[in-house]
Chains A and B, each alone.
Chain A
């Protein structure tokens, strides 16, 4: 299983961030499977953002729910995360993660550092 994040490395405050996770080694149409996003500000702890399941059920961190949208394209093996109204505090490495069983993550992408600055 491999996952790879792609998207801008620099966004301006108030802009919308769109990140794409392209994966291989599994299908997001398989029962029980999910793909999520987790971020990590520099030198800080991990924070779960969102999760999308094989049946298109979606879950979001309550503190960020109003700003997040997660979608999937099963035919392309991609999951897209959008985050609106970006702020410098959103500067972080964003990881795409694979959920194969319950809500823990045994495969991670390499992460992509997104900096929010004018």
Chain B
């Protein structure tokens, strides 16, 4: 089983600031098959990034994904008020799909 660790657990920032979220895998993720989701309170998660760096349909370009192997990053270039939420990574490089514990981005 590939264990995903996300850091930090909570990121306190102000609107307009840059957010950098980390997702680290316990072993290399095949083909960099990693996605990022955003979840707001009371809502289902929303797909942001797939294949580590490809934006899903309708996702603003302030969201970007990067990384390979075991280290992946989600960057939000300039936080908008609607971006304060919890972010999860998920790997699909193995048949056992696993999620990270999440990073909460809250307003400073």
Contact = CB atoms under 8 A, between A and B. Distances in A.
B44 A45 contact: no
Contact of B96 (A62, A101, A110): A62
B97 A108 contact: no
A104 B47 contact: yes
Contacts of A45: 88, 99-102
By secondary structure, the B interface counts as loop
Contact of B99 (A47, A62, A101, A108): A47
A105 interface: yes
A109 interface: yes
A59 B96 CA distance: 8
Interface string A84-104: 000000000001000001111
Interface of A: 45-48, 51, 59, 61-62, 95, 101-106, 108-111
22 contacts: A45-B88, A45-B99, A45-B102, A46-B37, A46-B99, A48-B90, A48-B97, A48-B98, A51-B97, A95-B44, A101-B50, A102-B33, A102-B50, A102-B92, A104-B47, A104-B92, A105-B45, A106-B47, A106-B50, A108-B44, A108-B45, A108-B46
Interface of B: 1, 33, 35, 37, 44-47, 50-51, 56-57, 88, 90, 92, 95-102
